Structure 1
Amino acid sequence: MRVKLLLLHITIVFINSCDDERLTLADLDGTYEGNFIRSSPYAKYAPAQVTLTFANGQFQGANEKTKYPAICNGTYEVEGDKVEFINACIWTAEFDWSLILSGEFYIEFEANTLTLQRKNGDITDLYQLKRK
């Protein structure tokens, strides 16, 4: 009986240790630099260099090209493999608002490399960033 209980205990400990590591807000804190790449089978887009800073559930960013992508500041929430950005800035109407860093992205974070990806129809937005 003791052996069975010991095996059961070891199995439970092993299963609990195999749970997926969940990304938290604190995991992302820091400044990241890299590229924004928009792609589509129907158009060619140039990449852009971007900087994003995350701190305590808030973000801010900058880029080399005006409103490509449109990054300002706001808040974000992480849930599973997704992050949702809530952009706090007021935008003018003369550009493509799908370029605003807002809404839901799939997120991957490994070894100080952050990847954000979103699909909107045939357009894919991809942020490939490294922690500074």
Structure 2
Amino acid sequence: MKTISHIVNFILACLIFASCAEAENVTLMIEKAELEGTFQRISGDNSGPEAEVTILVNEGRWEGNSSKSRYPALCKGSYTNNGNTITFENECMWTADFDWTLILSGTFEVILTDQHMIWEKRSGSGSEQVIDRYTFPKSDQEKVIL
């Protein structure tokens, strides 16, 4: 019976994703998932390196790893989602020898495209704007319940 429920949820999620247009805003609810993708910081006209990331989300809790040390700074914490945003709180202690703006925390816009689920946080404006972008392939969207 549980398998049938998972199949129905999967089919519904696929139908909803198939009907979403590029970069359309949607209401997002994440249950339990292991998301694998990339992180990149874009500062003005400069794109930083990409790091491979894995983020486990489960009922309001998260923990993560990155292929690059503290880029981004992932550990563990809690999250909440509200419409097309997801807000992270980090619960780990950090040393002062790196850029703390790389710690996964704060509110990110959730953007769903035909190919990706993107979490994006912007700060500053104009040539001073900084964008932190997490990109997960479409296969990870199937792990997300709408």
Q: How does 1:1-132 map to 2 (within 5 A)?
A: 22-26=27-31, 29-41=32-44, 43-109=46-112, 113-121=116-124, 122-130=129-137, 131=140
Secondary structure at the residue paired with 1:104?
strand
Taking every aligned residue pair, what percent have the same amino acid on both sides? 34
Over aligned residue pairs, what C-alpha RMSD do you find?
A: 2.2
Cα distance in structure 1, aligned partners of 2:41 and 2:55:
17
Secondary structure at the residue paired with 1:114?
strand
In structure 2, do the counterparts of structure 1 residues 51 and 94 end up closer, same or farther at CA, with 3 Å as the change threshold?
same
Per-residue CA deviations over 1:83-128 (Å, capped at 9, x if unaligned) read 1101110111110010000011101346794310001111101000
> In structure 2, what residue type is equivalent to 1:65?
K
Instruction: Tell me which of the two structures has the higher relative contact order, counting C-alpha pairs closer than 8 angstroms and 6 or more residues apart.
Output: 2
Q: How many residues align?
A: 111
* TM-score (norm. length: structure 1): 0.75
> In structure 2, what residue type is equivalent to 1:129?
F
Any stretches of 5+ residues in structure 2 without a counterpart? Answer: 1-24
Secondary structure at the residue paired with 2:44?
coil
> In structure 1, what residue type is equivalent to 2:28?
L
Which runs of structure 1 show a deviation greater than 3 angstroms over 4 or more consecutive aligned residues?
A: 109-113
Any stretches of 5+ residues in structure 1 without a counterpart? Answer: 1-19
**Post-superposition offset of 1:21:** 5.8
Cα distance in structure 1, aligned partners of 2:104 and 2:119:
10
In structure 2, do the counterparts of structure 1 residues 117 and 45 end up closer, same or farther at CA, with 3 Å as the change threshold?
same
**Post-superposition offset of 1:51:** 0.6
